Structure 1
Amino acid sequence: MAIGAAAGAALLLVTPTRAFEWVVPFLVALGSAVLLLRSRNSARRRTRREEQPRRALPVGLFAVAAHNGYFGAGSGIMMLALLMLTVEENLPRANAFKNVLLLAGEVVVAAGFIVFGSVQWAAVVPLAIGFLIGGAVGPSVARRVPADKLQIWIALAGLALATWLLVVAIRG
Structure 2
Amino acid sequence: MHVLSLRLSFIDPLFVTWKKVVNGGEPRLRGCIGTLEARWLINGFKDYALNSALRDRRFPPIQPKELPSLECTVSILTDYETANNHLDWEVGKHGIIIEFTDPDYNTRRSATYLPEVAAHEGWTKIEAIDSLMRKAGYNGVITESLRKRIRLTRYQSTLYTMHYGDYVSYVKAARGAAPSIVGSKP
> Taking structure 1 as the reference length, what is the TM-score of the superposition?
0.25
Greater helix fraction, Structure 1 or Structure 2: 1
Greater strand fraction, Structure 1 or Structure 2: 2
Query: Relative contact order (alpha carbons < 8 A, sep ≥ 6): 1 or 2 greater?
Result: 1
Tell which structure's C-alpha radius of gyration is larger: 2
